Structure 1
Amino acid sequence: MPLVSWLLGSPSRGHRLAVLDLGAGTGLGTRTIATLGHVVTAVDTVDDMLSVLRKVRKELPHRVAGRITTATGSAERIPLRNRSVDAISCLQAWHWVDPARAMAECDRVLRPNGMVGLAWHTWDRTSEWVKALAAIIEPGETPADRTRSVPAEFAGRGTF
C-alpha cells in the first residue's frame, strides 16, 4: 500500500511509531504498517474480521507478526489508553463512524502532534479504460471528485 508508506514512512532506527489501525477489518493495512516497521494495534467492531488477521499473523515473519496486536472496539470506543498512539490510520472505514464521537476518541488516544490518516479507494478517471469501466458500472453517473475533500470534522485541524 503506497499510501500507508507515504503516510507513515519507514521508521528510523529506534523510532517506531505506535499506530492504531481503526476499522482494520482483516488487517490488510495493519500488515503493511507492521511490515514498514511500526508497532500497530488493529481495532475493529467485528471479531470475526480480526480473527482472519490473527490467523494470517501466524504466517508472517516473526519480526512483523510481533508488531501486531488486535482488539475489538470501535471508533467511538477505542480500547486504548489516553495518549497511547502516534498515528491513526482509518482505511475504507471512516464513513461508518459517528464523526463527533470518533474525533473525541481519536483526540483522547493520540499523543501530542499525532496524525490521523483517512483513505478511500477512488476511481482514477484520467485513464481511458477506467472511464470506460465506470460507464459500464455507473451508467449515466458522474460522481463528485472526493479525492480532494476532507471530512468536515477534520476541517481546520493540522495540515493536509
Structure 2
Amino acid sequence: MPPMLPPQPRSAATLALVAPAAAGRFALQCCKACGNFIYPVRNICPTCLSQDIAVTDAPAGGLLLSETTIRITGDPFFRERPPVRQGLVRADCGVTIIAILHRDCPPEGRVRLSLRLDRGGKPLLLAFPLHPESSEVADDPSLRDLTMDPAAAAAHLADPDRP
C-alpha cells in the first residue's frame, strides 16, 4: 500500500511557494505595485487589485496570537498522526497566518516563521520558537512526521512525480 500523503489540491499560485519551502525560507507573495505582502495566496492583490505579484522573502518574525491542538480530524492523513498544534500568527510583514507550531513555541509569544515541504511536496507554514536550543523540525516528532527532509525535497524538485 502506498504511503498516505497530506491533502493535495493546491492552486497554481500556492505552488510558487514550493522552491522557498524546499530551501526552508519564509517567502510570501508580495505585490509589486503597492508593496504589501499577501496571504493566503491570491492571483490579484487584495489591496490595490494589481496582478503584478511575485514571491519574495519576507520578515520571518511574528507574534503567536492564539493556538489550538487538533486531536481528532476527518482527514485520513492527519488521523494517523499525533496531535498537531496550530496557531494564528500575526507576521511582522503584516499578514495573519495559520501555522503549524513547534512543540516549544510559547503561548502568545514571539515566533520565527518558515516554509517547509509537507510529505506530498507542497508548502507548509511552520512556526518555531526564537531560542535556538529547539528550533528545528527534527526536535519535534509531530513536525518531523509532517514534513519532507531537505534531501528528499531536492529530489522532489528534480522529479515532482517521485513519491
State whether TM-score is above 0.5: no
TM-score scaled by length of structure 2: 0.25
Relative contact order, CA 8 A, sep 6+: which one is greater? 2
Is the radius of gyration larger for structure 1 or structure 2?
1
Q: Higher helix fraction: Structure 1 or Structure 2?
A: 1
More strand by share: 2
Tell me the TM-score normalised to structure 1 length: 0.25
